[in-house]
Chains A and B, each alone.
Chain A
């Protein structure tokens, strides 16, 4: 996997550089105009955040029940990336909302539940960093809770009356809008895979180093 990492990262960054050109050429939305173009980064970030939360949760399950250290490294990496992409979603969304809805924030179902998931994964990272010995298992339990919330975040716009657009918007994009959107999704997806691989490898190497230090001290 590591020999594909450099080309993967290069392709992802190249796609990121090209994406704004495609987005600029996309048509304006009738009711929102220019500000709707935040959609092309906001929604792919949200998709990556949800996927990452699931990766963290599933890796945490494997770590809790099978006790695999490699699963813990993947979980730690995915937890960090969930928080990073969640931050992007929670900042770009209000910037869009300010112009489209007239307010920066609204305590509706989608926004509130997204903030909750972000706070859960920030708590996951804090527990891992400051929780002391064996905090990985406690953090894994927190990740399970975070993963369980993600489906509710996704369906919230369909179940409750909210200001936020429904899930059908991304699936029913007209020609001209769907190409730059899916291009951005691919760019974010590739970048996520590259960053997840690098961060997991970092965790694995750190664990090997600590094991080597322990062996050295025991000698």
Chain B
């Protein structure tokens, strides 16, 4: 009884307030709710992983690794040459 009187008293107040923006729960759905999965042959183009970047990345990696190794060999050969030259000087100085 008291709840009904309170609701009746509040009704004019609610009616006078501007209608609020519809909440997201009330927005009309643009797509139908999915009730089942639909198979498709072949993945859509936008879903496929880009193969070109993987292929180019693989080739670039091979080149980088081989060039780094060749550079490492060249550096070690240079160090060896310097030590040989130093040894020759020391041997010549002793004589």
Contacts and interface: CB of A to CB of B under 8 A. Distances in A.
Interface residues of A, number: 31
Contacts, number: 70
Contacts of A206: 80
Given A92-B61, A98-B49, A219-B94, 13 more contacts: A20-B59, A33-B51, A38-B59, A41-B59, A84-B69, A87-B65, A88-B66, A91-B58, A92-B58, A195-B69, A202-B77, A205-B80, A205-B84
Most chain A beta-carbon contacts within 10 A, residue among B69, B84, B87: B69
- Specify the main secondary structure of chain B where it touches its partner: helix
Contact of A216 (B49, B80, B91): B91
Interface of B: 49, 51-52, 54-55, 57-59, 61-63, 65-66, 69-70, 73, 76-77, 80, 83-84, 87, 90-91, 94
Given A195-B73, A205-B80, A206-B80, A84 B54 contact: no
A54 interface: no
A209 B79 CA distance: 12
A198 interface: yes
B84 A209 contact: yes
Contact of A213 (B59, B69, B87, B94): B87
A24 to B, nearest CB: 10
A209 B73 CA distance: 17
B55 A34 contact: yes
A73 interface: no
A136 B83 CA distance: 23
Contacts of B57: 95
B59 A96 contact: no
A37 B49 CA distance: 15
